[in-house]
Amino acid sequence: MPRPLSATIHLESMQHNLQRARAAAPQAKIWAVVKANAYGHGLERGMRGFAQADGLALVETENAVRLRDSGWIKPILLLEGIFDASDVPLLAEHNINSAVHNIEQIKMLEYTRHYRPIDVHLKMNTGMNRLGFRPDDYAAAYKRLRAIPDVRHITHMTHFANADELEHPRLTIAEQVRRFRFGAGELPGERSLSNSGGVLHQAELGDALSNDWVRPGIMLYGGTPGGRSAQDYGLRPTMTLRSEIIGIQRIEAGDTVGYGSRFEATGPMTVGVVACGYADGYPRHAPHGTPVIVDGVRTTLVGRVSMDMMTVDLTPIANARVGSRVTLWGDGLPIDEVAQAAGTIGYELMCALAGRVRVLEGRMGTDG
């Protein structure tokens, strides 16, 4: 029998969350973001779960080609653009859109044969200060791109730094939109501004946020970039990490648990050992009190997370036994809640899922 640890991917939840994104921004086409192996869900599963998206977006050229080889015929966007001039023919051959965020990429497009027209997304740095041309330099970059004969459509793109917090004290969405409009002006072409946070706040922003394309990521996987919970937005978990109790210890007051003896019992308690650890992608720094579910009852982590195991408090679960089912995140336990307890974000938990974890497919409310 395999080790009793598995991640179940809920394709129907991926489809549901995509529809929630479409309902939030009905005027826009959707790039479903499938970077980082579809946030740990598997690239091909991402393609299937988001089959109704208008396009898929990711960062690796080789995985863009892999999507084509797997049968994806709709648009594909490279969010970081090309990394070498040798990538340019692949854009043309496989009809892949590319972000353009620096002068070096423009030079690659100028001096490399394309074979057929390509579409690009010119990125503006409106305050994220990560990638893109500053507003004052944007029109000149556009003019240079427009002069390349085989560049067909140019979409204008930026990325919000604080889309989860509309009134951020340093940089609001409204200020970034103002900078974007200043830089792009009346230049022709479609607009692509919103990540998950922008999509989720579309109702509050209204006409102030106009997109032809949106680029939701984390919301498609049942998480949020911050603020309100996924459930508040009607989003469903797309990954459930489950294991089992493989050992039980009954301890007394003063007994300690785990490496470093960081947890000390204040009275009699029952401790369960779960087959999951940091080598599986569970955060090693998750503290005492991080929530877990055992046989449908919420309880907490105790002691340090080990490489292959963790320990949980079974005292509230009267009939807990070896073989009891454990939910570490997902169905019934929002991944953002676990991430917050561990001082991180749901993105990291999904993307850190280790290759040795069995990945299954199943509907929520089942054992996968």
- List active site positions: 35, 259
**Maximum CA extent, the chain:** 77
Rounded CA separation 97/192 (Å): 13
185 phi-psi bin (left φ>0, alpha ψ -120 to 50, beta other)? left
Query: What do you get for the CA distance between the two ends of the chain, in Å?
Result: 16
CB atoms within 10 A of CB 276: 27
- Dihedral angle sign, alpha carbons of residues 218, 24, 192, 54: positive
Rounded CA separation 121/62 (Å): 19
Burial label for 204, CB within 10 Å (0-12, 13-18, 19+), is exposed
158 phi-psi bin (left φ>0, alpha ψ -120 to 50, beta other)? beta
